[in-house]
Amino acid sequence: MNKLLIVGTVAFDAIETPFGQTDKILGGAATYISLSASQFGVKSGIVSVVGGDFPKEYLDKLNAKNISTEGIEVIEDGKTFFWKGVYHNDLNSRDTLITDLNVLADFNPVVPQEFKDADFLMLGNLHPAVQMAVINQIPVRPKLVALDTMNFWMDNTLDELMEVIAKIDVITINDEEARQLSGEYSLVKAAQKIHKMGPKFVVIKKGEHGALLFNNGDVFFAPALPLEEVFDPTGAGDTFAGGFIGHIAKSGDISFDNMKRAVISGSNLASFCVEKFGTERMENLSEDEIQKRLLQFKLLTQFDIELS
């Protein structure tokens, strides 16, 4: 069985959408990625940090999904990373109101012995210095290294982020971040520029408008499933990344054709994530539901046309 190591925030989130708001609930990039990847039955573990205020039952929830939390350091006298965001009425855009790094500010990650030979590495959203420290602790390069990041790190730690981007195979970012990183409005041109920074595969997430996968000259597009109701988009991007890397880790196949399936798997899982607040939907998701929705994806995109 392939091993998947996931790095990213494990957090408290406070979320406000047009449909309601939450107090501090379980969130974080690594949380969403791991819950999503856990659907593929691979052996996965998280490297992250939390404070003494982080409830043990949140770790238990991850363990219940067979996600190893041995690499989550608990700083007893510290506070957990906290993020607060508010969504606009279209739910496609949001404002970050608070990002309190807390224990993340001077975190020195330690990769557990069991994951030093990870076959796949998912560098989820967090400080690029932490992402780099994890890369450096894995002696044999994994079969595939994927990275997800966001504008916060582009704004605050661009040089360190660029060093990490130079070392990875796949980057997953949203359209606005791709534009910011490349300085190009056209996403095709943006992907070309990002290829030159390092990654052979560039995945650009476009929220309810799907995702694009670029591999030099080749492009693939996956729609997002048109949903009757979107409740809370928080974590959709991370859930997408978790589904993407989970699919690849399960199959062990890093070809472009398999990445197309991985993009569909990611989009499929993200479609569930947005149906409830926070991680709730991802904690209660059956294989049967996943398979039924995959069929919907197939029907959504299949067509016959005569070429003359």
Beta carbon nearer to ligand AMP, 36 or 119: 36
Choose which of 21, 99, 192, 251 interacts with ligand AMP (CB under 6 A): 99
Is residue 236 involved in binding ligand AMP (CB under 6 A)?
A: yes
Across-strand partners of 285?
none
Phi-psi group of 281: left, alpha or beta (phi > 0 → left; psi -120 to 50 → alpha; rest → beta): alpha
Question: Closest separation between CB of residue 308 and ligand AMP, Å?
Answer: 43
Using CB under 6 A as the binding criterion, the count of chain residues that bind ligand AMP stands at 17
Could you say which residues in the range 160-219 bind ligand AMP, by CB under 6 A? none
**Smallest distance, Å, CB 139 to ligand AMP?**
26
Residue from the set 40, 54, 83, 87 that interacts with ligand AMP by CB under 6 A: 83
Q: Please choose, out of 7-15, 136-144, 214-222, 224-232, the segment that lies near ligand AMP by the rule CB under 6 A.
A: 7-15
**299: Cα within 13 Å, side-chain hemisphere:** 7
Which residue of 126, 165, 168, 249 would you call a contact of ligand AMP, by CB under 6 A? 126
Cβ count within 10 A of residue 158: 14
> In sequence order, what E strands does 77-159 have?
82-87, 94-100, 120-123, 144-148
- Say if CB 240 and CB 270 are below 8 A apart: yes
Residue 28 lies near ligand AMP (rule: CB under 6 A):
yes
**159: CB partners within 8 A, 6+ apart:** none
Type of residue at 24: K
Of 32 and 120, the one with the shorter C-beta distance to ligand AMP is 32
Q: Which of 4, 6, 13, 40 binds ligand AMP (CB under 6 A)?
A: 13
Quote the least distance from Cβ 103 to ligand AMP, whole Å: 13
Q: Is residue 27 within the footprint of ligand AMP (CB under 6 A)?
A: yes
Among the listed residues 19, 55, 12, 37, the one whose alpha carbon sits nearest the alpha carbon of residue 249: 37
Binding of ligand AMP by 152 (CB under 6 A):
yes
Contacts with 16 (C-beta within 8 Å, 6 or more apart), sequence order: 22, 84, 85, 86, 87
| Residues of this chain that bind ligand AMP (CB under 6 A) | 9, 11, 13, 27-29, 83, 99, 125-126, 150, 152, 234-238
